[in-house]
Structure 1
Amino acid sequence: MKRVIVGLSGGVDSSVTAYLLKEQGYEVIGLFMKNWHDDSVTISDECPWLDDSNDALLVAEKLGIPFQTVDLSEDYKERIVDYMFNEYEKGRTPNPDVLCNREIKFDVFLKIALSLGADYVATGHYCRKDTILSEGKEVHRLLAGKDGNKDQSYFLCQLSQDQLSKTLFPIGELLKSEVREIAKEQNLITADKKDSQGLCFIGKVRLPEFLQQKLKPKKGKIVEIPASIAKYKKTIPSFVSKEEELLFKSSKYEYQLSDGHVVGEHQGAHYFTKGQRKGLGVGGTPEPLFVIETDVDTNIIYTGQGKSHPGLYRNVLFIRNDELHWVREDLQLKEGEKMNVLARIRYRQPLDIAVLHKTKEGMYVEFETDQSAITEGQFVAWYQEDELIGSGVIS
């Protein structure tokens, strides 16, 4: 009997994961990860960890499996929260959920599970895994979940072959409605529990207040940039090489105060992210204002009216070599090579046709259509059909 340790979060997905594995004949142990102590920034009724751990315990009792809680808050603070502060300070926007999977669930948690004699860990993610032979070697494929509406492969885009080899995703073949149905049939307390929102493990957080623990408020100007300024009408030069063209197209617009006019004040450029609409506190414009750029050095937020403002769009992004990751190491590109893929720059975004171009310094991702609010610090993930093969941090 193989031993599986399930990350029981107190939600319906991980509850059904544990049930299905037990049905399949595995020896199942439930482990609840406690990763956060500070309630001062949590919108507490959204994701109180105490209620979650109680629900996880009740599910374990109902299924007749051993259960314990592990406190990973020190690792979480060090690997996720400090990293987030650091990225926001630099004016980048991190994705804590992707990091949480790479650093906590499939690293710290996985190591604990293996020390408890586990053959596998399992989570309630809506994605699938299969294993093929490539040149006589086992290769694990990370596939999108069957429920297109819930597919969470994007959040696992940083996993390695080693991590995948020890992981099971039992609900990846099911629709969310089927998962809830199973939970109801088994009388699991989590059957109708609504999905938690917000940061992995922390719950819904008031982000500015959360960031203010480390990044002090600092008054600055909100500047509106008209869609008609000259730099949006620049003529495209002729390029001597494809790489030169990609560099040109991936470069973001640089703004000065004189490009627009001041329309308001903010409490710190590092609290805002590209594409953001809420929280600016500026009214009276025909169309709502969107953040098109933040400058943490001058502490200025540049905005534009409407979601079709030209300052929001470009179709090429760049990933540095040290922030490039291949789930399928056997498919990685060498310098000068390119590959046709489908890609997305955020969770739940429809996949878009793109071409990867590998250069000496890193890799360009060239989309067929313009992307809105390409944001540094976020992850771009690329697929072949429904298989996620790699990802990188947008630089």
Structure 2
Amino acid sequence: MKVLAAMSGGVDSAVAAARAVDAGHEVVGVHLALSRMPGTLRTGSRGCCTIEDSSDAWRACEKLGIPFYVWDFSERFKADVVDDFIAEYSAGRTPNPCMRCNEKIKFEALLDKAIALGFDAVATGHYAKVTENDDGTRELHRAATWTKDQSYVLGVLNAEQIAHCMFPLGETPSKELVREEAAERGISVAKKPDSHDICFIPDGDTRGWLAEQIDMEPGAIVDAEGTQIGEHEGSQAYTVGQRRGLKLGRPAPDGKPRFVLEIRPKENTVVAGPKELLDIDLITGIRLSWAGTPVPQAETGEWFQIELQIRAHADPVPAQARVEYADQAPRLVVELAEPLQGVAPGQTAVMYQGTRVLGQSTIDTARSRHRTDVPAVS
């Protein structure tokens, strides 16, 4: 097969490309330029897609003896990831830019271009697996090792995209083995630290960055009964579950810390309260997509059993789900068997059955049976 290897400049993508070469595929490496700031440099494990990363990707391809290209997706990245991130926070939601990047850039824009150029598949360094059924349909599954599994951030992939995906690291037991393999192959990034945080906010100061992008106005922090207990400098800079930075002038009656329960952007209000009110057991979701063939109940509106995961490294929880159709747009409804805390609108809810990724939805509402100040979802 003709395979396009997405080269981030890290050890995982380098070894994934090397394994694709070993498998006998015709491999071409490509690094995505997502920023137009030529002075951008990596700082330790902060940031990615930098000049340093591009150079590391080139050196890995040179070592593997495969062609290397840089594709400029910076305009698409700004529109589909950065601008979306700002818009979501402006609306009082907490987005996951890595999900949007995988959905819109790494697998939509990249894969579309790869197929147009005659490639059969795109290989990445994600820890996940793709299996093929007897009828030729393909499914996305968790990696062999739970601690390295990255299937959550791939939950946005659809059936057509999964059909052209290759994840050579899916069966690898540990990152240490990948680093050892890179060292044995003479790949220079064998000991390079993993990147973390939001790539376009490399200093990690999300609140400070948002303050430069969004016009924020001070407003009230209220408790669940609506009584003002403090002031904020801009509701968009807060997220559900947050404890630090509230600067409340009135202590709680029981003396316990309070957490952000809800953001109300139209009122420019932040609702804060005790930790137990963070418990939620009912979620609705929009932008529903299926990672392969949808479950039969998707068309009938019947309940089906799932495990739900709301963060990349969170444990899944048992739940039941069904699909409603409002104005022809599918809406996911999930009832959790046990409560979760700190669930915020804008986060991505990924559905599993066993190791299989069923699909995902962007959380629209998250409600708790303990909350009496907000309406329940019918």
TM-score, normalised with respect to structure 1: 0.83
Q: Are the equivalent residues in 2 in contact too, given 1:197–1:204 (CA < 8 A)?
A: no
1:4 aligns with 2:3: yes
**2:176 paired with 1:177:** yes
Q: Report deviation, 1:328.
A: 2.9
Q: 1:354 aligns with which of 291, 300, 319?
A: 319
Cα distance in 2 for partners of 1:370, 1:42 equals 42
- Cα distance change of structure 1 residues 40 and 211 upon mapping to structure 2, 3 Å threshold: farther
Residue identity opposite 1:74 in structure 2? E
Partner amino acid, structure 2, of 1:118? F
Q: Are 2:362 and 1:393 aligned?
A: yes
Segment drifting more, 323-332 vs 73-82: 323-332
TM-superposed CA distance for 1:324, in Å, is 1.4
Quick check: 2:58–2:68 contact (8 Å CA) kept in 1?
A: yes
Q: What SS does the corresponding residue of 1:93 show, helix, strand or coil?
A: coil
Aligned residue type for 1:326: W
Superposition deviation, residue 296 in structure 1: 1.3
Equivalent residue, structure 1, for 2:335: 366
Q: Which residue is 2:289 aligned to?
A: 325
Match of 1:242 in 2: none
- Sort the Cα spacing of 1:287 and 1:380 in 2 relative to 1 into closer, same or farther, 3 A: same
Tell me if structure 2 keeps the 8 A contact 1:42–1:206.
no
Q: In 2, distance between residues paired with 1:200 and 1:154? A: 18
Give the equivalent residue in structure 2 for 1:113: 114
Q: Specify which of 162, 165, 168 is matched with residue 167 of structure 1.
A: 165
Q: Is the 8 A contact 1:41 1:210 kept in 2?
A: no
Contact 2:235 2:265 in 1 (8 A): yes
For the 8 Å contact 1:157–1:391, the answer to whether it is kept is: yes
Gaps of 5+ in 1: 226-254
Q: 1:154 aligns with which of 139, 152, 155?
A: 152
In structure 2, give the amino acid aligned to 1:91. Answer: G
Match of 2:370 in 1: none
SS in 1 for 2:108: helix
Structure 2: segments with no counterpart, 5+ residues? 365-378
SS in 2 for 1:52: helix
Name the residue aligned to 1:195.
194
Q: For 1:118, what is the secondary structure of its paired residue?
A: coil
Kindly tell me: are residues 82 and 344 of structure 1, through their superposed partners in 2, closer, same or farther at Cα, counting changes over 3 Å?
A: same
CA distance in 1, matches of 2:40, 2:20: 36
User: 1:207: how far off?
Assistant: 1.3
- Structure 1 residue aligned with 2:369: none
Partner of 2:236: 270
Work out whether residues 42 and 205 of structure 1, in 8 Å CA contact, stay in contact via their aligned partners in 2.
Answer: no
Return closer, same or farther for 1:71/1:336 CA change in 2, 3 Å cut-off.
closer
Equivalent position to 1:290, from 227, 251, 259: 259
Whether 1:280 aligns to 2:280 is no
CA distance in 1, matches of 2:82, 2:132: 34
The CA distance in 1 between the partners of 2:261 and 2:317, in whole Å, is 22
Aligned residue type for 1:52:
D
Aligned residues: CA RMSD = 2.3
Q: Distance in 1 between matches of 2:322 and 2:128?
A: 27
| 2:138 match | 140
Do structure 1's residue 314 and structure 2's residue 313 form an aligned pair?
no
Query: Does the aligned pair in 2 maintain the 1:41–1:206 contact within 8 Å?
Result: no
C-alpha distance 288-12 of structure 1, shift in aligned 2 (>3 A): farther
Report how many aligned residue pairs link the two structures: 353
Select the residue among 274, 289, 300 that pairs with 2:269.
300
Equivalent position SS for 1:70: strand
Identity of aligned residues (%): 33
